[in-house]
Amino acid sequence: MSGIFQFKQFAVDQTGCAMKINTDGVLLGALADAESSQNILDIGTGTGVIALMLAQRFSSAKINGVEIDESAALTAEINFQNSPFANRLTMFQQDFQTYFSENLGKKYDLIVSNPPFYLNSLESPKANKTVAKHTDNNFFDVLIKGVSEHLTENGLCWLILPMTAAELVKGLALYNGLYLQEKITIHSFKDDMPHREILAFGMRAIETNNEEFVIYNKPKLYSEMYIAVLKDFFTIF
């Protein structure tokens, strides 16, 4: 998928972005939530699609996007400026570690990320693809520690991860004083094994809310739940 992706209230130019708009990103943008979402951070914003979806959902929120890849960050900045939410979106072209270190006192009600997820796997020959998709255990260690220091008391961090990475992150979160508030297990079809988990972490030790989410009823036919969460965004619904 390339070129312009038209949503109902905004458009996303994907030029120069290694990771194009995908199911993982739009599900996170549609499902991530918090009691108060006035200040939001999108780590690894890529095209900016998740930040834009959150800007549409939370009409008074200020949203910061952080992206290490220069080309992707430029594209996201253009998408931000061309959207109806331009005055509430700010782009930072840097790695999240630097962003956190330069904003030590900054707290967020909602932090989201669709992070690199191929743990210790064969790297892509294209450098930007490698940055966008590959990582190691240390990446998540640093990410979760940074998140724990920049959430408000009632804030939440939402991540979408493959199953193996999700297990690693749950342990790292607990070590850093973050508790699993919500787990949404993603299946392509009802009887398929899950392939992703959307996890929400916060400071409060509460009982985890567990949900199942199915994308398709049958090949090329989206489920009612998928349509319900994306009907405000996708022009096909």
Instruction: For residue 184, give the CATH number of its domain.
Output: 3.40.50.150
Maximum separation of any 2 CA atoms in the chain, in Å: 48
Q: Which amino acid is at 33?
A: D
- State the Cα–Cα distance between residues 151 and 136, nearest whole angstrom: 23
What pLDDT sits at residue 16? 67
pLDDT of residue 18: 75
Q: Measured in whole angstroms, how far is the alpha carbon of residue 9 from the centre of its chain?
A: 19
Cβ atoms of 26 and 10 within 8 Å: the answer is no
Distance of alpha carbon 91 from alpha carbon 40, whole angstroms: 12
φ, ψ of residue 28 to 5 degrees: the values are -65, -45
| CA-based torsion, 224, 229, 234, 237: positive or negative | positive
pLDDT at 3 over 90: no
| Averaged pLDDT for residues 153-173 | 96
pLDDT at 183: 98
**Confidence grade of residue 1 (pLDDT, cut at 50, 70, 90):** very low
> pTM value?
0.91
Separation CA 93–CA 90 (nearest Å): 10
Q: Which residues, including other chains, have CB under 8 Å from residue 22's CB and lie 6 or more apart?
A: none
Angle at 165 between CA 121 and CA 181, to 5 degrees: 165
Average pLDDT over residues 178-200: 98
Decide: helix, strand or coil at residue 208.
coil
- Residue range 26-63, pLDDT digits in tens: 999 999 999 889 999 999 999 999 999 999 999 999 99
150 located within any domain: yes
Between residues 3 and 185, which one has the greater pLDDT?
A: 185
Judge contact between 43 and 114, C-beta under 8 A. no
Residue 235 located in a structural domain: no
Domain count of the fold of the chain: 1
CA distance 54 to 56: 5
Are residues 80 and 55 in contact, defined by beta-carbon separation less than 8 angstroms? no
What's the pLDDT score for residue 217? 97
Which domain range does residue 176 map to? 4-230
Task: Express each pLDDT in 129-139 by its tens digit.
Answer: 433 344 556 88
The pLDDT of residue 137 is: 66
Structure tokens at 78: 């253009």
